[in-house]
Amino acid sequence: MEELRELAKKLLQEKQVNAVVGYECDRRGVRPAFVDDPAGCDRLVFDHRCVQNLPAYLSPRRTNVAGLGRLAVVVKQCDARAVAGLIRESQLKRENLVLIGVRCGGVAANPNESRELGAETLALRCYGCSGTETAMADYVVGEPKTVPAAGGDRDARLAEIEKMSPEERLALWKEWLSRCTRCHACRQVCPMCFCERCVAEKTQPNWIESSPHIQGNFSWNVTRALHLAGRCVDCGECERACPAQIPLGLLNRKLAKIMSARYGFAVTDDPSTPAPIGSYRLDDGQEFIL
Amino acid sequence: MRRMLSRTDLDALVRDLLGAGTRVIAPVRRKVQGREFVEYAPVQNPEEIALDGSQPVRPLKQVVFPPTETLFNYKQDKGLVQIQEAPTTFSDTLVIGARPCDAAALEIVDRVMDWDYHDEFWFGHRQATTVVAVACTDSDESCFCTAVGLSPESTRGADWLLIPAGSSFEVRVVTPKGEALLESNKSRCPESDVPEAGKASSAVEEKVRANLAMNPAKLQEWLGAHFEHPLWQKIALRCHGCGACAFVCPTCHCFDIVDELEGVGRGARRRNWDACQPALFTLHGSGHNPRKDQSARFRQRVMHKFSIYPSRFGEILCTGCGRCIRVCAAGMDLIAILAEIGQNAEEAGSTL
Ligand code: SF4
Ligand code: SF4
Ligand code: SF4
Ligand code: SF4
């Protein structure tokens, strides 16, 4: 922790950056922190409650964050995938940003977790992760840590659904998606949903009905999942933010598996790896074209 | 003399009403992909009712203000447009187990729904709905009803309040609608001289009080004078503008109106929940947005609840249910924010 605080202080004192985006403790757990004066750096913490994907604040939609000036951001290995995604999609220039890579020992599913980190509390995205710092980091802080062993097969819940008949699957998703009230929190917290005008907000023509009836909810959730195919960085923030408790991560995970099987693409913190949506390959499957 | 109702008789009451075709809404336990929570939902069977679970994750408002509601259907016929209005009377609904903070919200929102126009849909649902609240036997670090003038056993907005006492409830009848409910269930609610049950929730009340103390009048005054203040920029940086807070808030009541086609020449006009946190809410057709960034939007949330609504209707537009705190992915904490504003207000007061 001291190392992180000292580094943040130095970056601010030397005016390398105008603000540091990291984590701080609050009344209930841990939340994002924006520190713009060296004295405030002692607020910074990093532990297993640091769940939030901070690069979400780098999206050009966040005009008030952009107004802070040049930023240093605390990133876990997984968070760096969002930075890479934003660079890959021309939303961000690497040189405009300082990345503080933290060595991570895994995080809990929610930032208010009071229990120790272990198989039961470990977030799904940490299953199988080494927790080492991202190769993109300008600075690395913390001792190497060990991520606790996973509490089972990460894809067990997906496998259950894959076993179902299409009718059963439809019934299940109908039940879940009927709960959606179209707040679009899933989109707003997503680091990769950076569009200034989302297709869901278009009314001429009205591609996606904004009413939270089952038809509108299917249009919305399926479109969002498809727009994130090969782009979702697997941080799970959409599912965590959803006030309707919809297991949105399942949709993203399924699509990630399809992207891997069909295009050999896995989400990465290497910005030079092209994403399938933005690249053209002669050997791309095209049997679906009639 | 107090009237008591046993859980068995409560179940019988619910069964009677279900048999008579009344829709019964109550907290039920849910498990979705390993996540357990409680929500208000229609029940078919009184055994489903969970009166001792945690606070329902979403508010009761959806019962009287559905997330989407059709206002009318339209059909174009050779240049003529036919309108078929949606009914504004609804079938009988009984809510069992409303949290006091959810029940109170209904009465608070009544004010705006009968202000510049009379909202027939809202009052149609209100008319059809009888609310049986139950005093809270638990609270968490996000509850602050006591700071906004309510309590874990407030009767506001409820027709009955049930106060848990062992395996029974003390019945407090609050409104004429509640009298009518008692009239048809008198034999189930015998009078008894057991000692007052009210104290069951005083421990809860104390716990809630410890979360936040506030002076609403001072707060309102400070807000009125500080539309511009560095605090807004500072607290809103982490806010995603997602609006989840408004969607789970029992008192947030903004809606959008849309026309949706349902085939050639026909469609429906609907009203859907909306929220002041996303940028689109105030975006003008010209491209100009008077609430230019998230600090302006979050300020609006606080102003509307603790300054604008109180000055117009004499009511705080918040029942301290704490849902906005629990739901927020960014850790925005209304209790901490109100405490900070309260402190500013104190300091401003002392230097005046
Ligand atoms: S996925 Fe890896 S880097 Fe990310 S929080 Fe889990 S262990 Fe840490
Ligand atoms: S966050 Fe949940 S409720 Fe809100 S739009 Fe997304 S899926 Fe629907
Ligand atoms: S306060 Fe939280 S829930 Fe509300 S809009 Fe901001 S991020 Fe979303
Ligand atoms: S503002 Fe928050 S605490 Fe107040 S009523 Fe709404 S959701 Fe509950």
What is the ipTM score, two decimals? 0.94
Q: Is the pLDDT of residue A155 over 70?
A: yes
Q: Is the pLDDT of residue A203 over 90?
A: no
According to the model, what pLDDT value does residue B352 have? 42
According to the model, what pLDDT value does residue A205 have? 83
**Separation of B312 CA from ligand 4 center, angstroms?**
19
Q: Answer whether B321 touches A (CB < 8 Å).
A: no
Residues with CB under 6 A from ligand 1: A 76-78, 104, 106-107, 125-126, 129, 131, 147
Query: Is there a contact between A172 and A211 (Cβ–Cβ < 8 Å)?
Result: no
DSSP helix/strand/coil, A56: helix
Q: Is the pLDDT of residue A210 over 60?
A: yes
Contact at CB, A52 and B272, closer than 8 angstroms: no
- In angstroms, the separation between the Cα of residue B247 and the nearest Cα of chain A is 7
Pairing of strands B255-261, B266-273: antiparallel
- Looking at chain A, which residue has its C-alpha nearest residue B70? A211
How many percent of chain A have pLDDT more than 90?
Answer: 87
- Looking at chain B, which residue has its C-alpha nearest residue A201? B280
Domain range list for chain A? 2-141, 154-263
Chain A residues near residue B35 by CB distance under 8 angstroms: 245, 247
CB of A184 shorter than 6 A to ligand 2 = yes
- Residues A134-147: pLDDT tens digits? 999 999 999 999 99
- Spell out the alpha helix ranges (H) of chain B: 7-19, 61-64, 100-113, 120-128, 176-183, 202-211, 216-225, 230-236, 244-247, 294-303, 309-313, 323-327, 334-351
According to the model, what pLDDT value does residue A85 have? 96
* Mean pLDDT across B273-287: 93
For the CA of A147, the closest atom of ligand 1 is 7
* Mean pLDDT across A238-248: 96
Say if pTM beats, i.e. exceeds, 0.90. Answer: yes
State the SS3 of A146-175: CCCCCCCCCCHHHHHHHCCCHHHHHHHHHH
Cβ contacts from A onto B, under 8 A:
128
According to the model, what pLDDT value does residue B137 have? 92
Which of B237, B272, B273 has its CB closest to that of A65?
Answer: B237
- Residues B159-189: pLDDT tens digits? 999 999 888 999 999 999 999 999 999 999 9
Query: Is there a contact between B152 and B145 (Cβ–Cβ < 8 Å)?
Result: yes
The residue length of chain B stands at 352
pLDDT band at B348 (very low <50, low <70, confident <90, very high): confident
The torsion region of residue A186 among left (phi > 0), alpha (psi -120 to 50) and beta comes to alpha
Q: What is the per-residue burial (b if ≥16 Cβ within 10 Å, else e) of B253-279? A: bebbebebeeeeeebbbbbbbbbbbbb
Chain A residues near residue B34 by CB distance under 8 angstroms: 157
Task: Determine which of B18-32, B287-301, B335-349 has the lowest per-residue pLDDT on average.
Answer: B335-349
Instruction: Please list the residues that pair with B169 across neighbouring strands.
Output: B5, B164
Contact at CB, A27 and B336, closer than 8 angstroms: yes
Atom 6 of ligand 1, nearest CA residue: A126
According to the model, what pLDDT value does residue B198 have? 52
According to the model, what pLDDT value does residue B53 have? 82
Q: Is the pLDDT of residue A263 over 70?
A: yes
Query: Which of A154, A203, A245 is the best residue to mutate to test the B interface, defined by the most B CB atoms within 10 Å of its own CB?
Result: A245
Instruction: Measure the CA–CA gap between B236 and B316, rounded to whole angstroms.
Output: 21
* Mean pLDDT across A40-59: 96
- Sheet containing strand B266-273, edge to edge, reads B80-85, B68-77, B266-273, B255-261
State the SS3 of B120-188: HHHHHHHHHEEEEEECCCCCCCCCCHHHHCCCCCCCCCCCEEEEEECCEEEEEECCHHHHHHHHCCHHH
All residues at 6 or more sequence positions from A243 whose CB lies less than 8 Å from its CB, including other chains: A181, A183, A185, B57, B58, B244, B247, B248, B327
- Residues B243-257: pLDDT tens digits? 999 999 999 999 999
- Residues A63-74: pLDDT tens digits? 999 999 999 999
Query: Which of A20, A184, A194, A199 is the best residue to mutate to test the B interface, defined by the most B CB atoms within 10 Å of its own CB?
Result: A184
Residues with CB under 6 A from ligand 4: B 248-251, 305, 318-324, 334
- Looking at chain B, which residue has its C-alpha nearest residue A241? B329
* Mean pLDDT across A211-229: 96
Instruction: Measure the CA–CA gap between A132 and B6, rounded to whole angstroms.
Output: 58
Closest ligand relative to B328 C-alpha: 3
According to the model, what pLDDT value does residue A230 have? 94
Atom 2 of ligand 1, nearest CA residue: A131
- In angstroms, the separation between the Cα of residue B196 and the nearest Cα of chain A is 35
The interface residues of chain B toward chain A in range 255-314, judged by CB-CB distance below 8 A, are 256, 258, 260-261, 270, 272-273, 275, 278-280, 292-295
All residues at 6 or more sequence positions from B301 whose CB lies less than 8 Å from its CB, including other chains: B245, B246, B276, B277
Average pLDDT in chain A:
94
Task: Determine which of A60-69, A98-107, B139-148 has the lowest per-residue pLDDT on average.
Answer: A60-69
Pairing of strands B160-165, B129-134: parallel
* Mean pLDDT across B117-133: 98
A124 closest CA partner among A156, A160, A101 = A156
Q: Is the pLDDT of residue A289 over 70?
A: yes
Q: Is the pLDDT of residue B349 over 80?
A: no
* Mean pLDDT across A145-173: 94
